[in-house]
Amino acid sequence: MADHCHSHGCGHGHSHGGGGADGGGHGHSHGPSDASDAENIKGQEFNLYLRIDMDSLTCLNEEEDGSGRTVFRAYEDRLDRTKFVSSDVDEELLFNIPFSGTVKLKGLLIIGGEMETHPNKMRLFKNRPNMSFEDAGAAPDQEIDVHVDQEGFIEYKPIVARFNDVSHLSIHFPSNHGNSEKTEIYYIGLKGEFSEAHRHEVTITAYESRANPADHKTNALNQMNQMIS
């Protein structure tokens, strides 16, 4: 069993402070409050986990049942290393993610394990519920290279025109950076716009179940005619 007590030494050197020299000399200070504000904004953006039908979400090839669901959580909890999914018999993982309405998907964050277990690619499929690994052999709607990221700094941009009416998203992770048989994912963040589902079928069912007086009247006349004849 792999040791899951990973360090957080992420050496990819991304700078997100936004406080570079601007030559303007206006003397604005960018302190901890700015970092906190940025964190809050990110948290509000990456909140589509609240719109996932968690009871119906599945993760294929997860080592521990139900662990795939734990990676979809609040942005501020993204660094919680106690919640993760690890692949079982090989390096592949496949998430089937149903939403409670429709989504315009605008961004993804992926936090994986160390270099050797961190996914190196994700393949996105739109509106193909209950996909299997065999189904995932089809051409995806988009394929994206995934970099080693243990802090959630790197945002991946889907082609919005292709993912503007998503009721179900499947994410296939076919491989990892270490060519190992173990892939680990700690957090998946989803950003986008959400619309409630339209439940036309409820209206139609209620209408059809309503008694039609005209039908009863016709049946009564038919019965009378039969009796007379």
Q: What's the CA gap between 161 and 181, in Å, rounded?
A: 34
At 103 the pLDDT is 97
At 227 the pLDDT is 56
At 32 the pLDDT is 56
At 191 the pLDDT is 97
Q: Which helix (H) or strand (E) holds 78?
A: none
| Nearest one of 146, 70, 155 to 112, comparing CA atoms | 146
CATH 2.60.120.470 is held by the domain 41-199: yes
pTM of the model: 0.73
| Nearest one of 109, 106, 120, 116 to 155, comparing CA atoms | 109
The residues that bridge with 86 in the sheet, in sequence order, are 184
Domain ranges of the chain: 41-199
Q: Which two tokens stand for residue 164?
A: 């503007």
The stretches in the chain having pLDDT less than 50 are 1-30, 216-217
Residue 73 contacts by C-beta under 8 Å, 6 or more apart in sequence?
49, 80, 83, 187
The phi, psi pair for 152, rounded to 5°, reads 80, 35
- Helix, strand, or coil (residue 83): coil
Q: Are strands 93-112 and 166-173 parallel, antiparallel or unpaired?
A: antiparallel
For residue 157, CA distances in Å to 9, 70, 73, 108 come to 25, 23, 19, 7
At 23 the pLDDT is 43
| Spatial contact of 194 and 101, defined as CB atoms under 8 Å apart | yes
Residue 58 contacts by C-beta under 8 Å, 6 or more apart in sequence?
68, 95, 96, 130
pLDDT tens digits, 83-96: 999 999 999 999 99
CB atoms within 10 A of CB 228: 6
Residue positions counted in the chain: 229
At 197 the pLDDT is 82
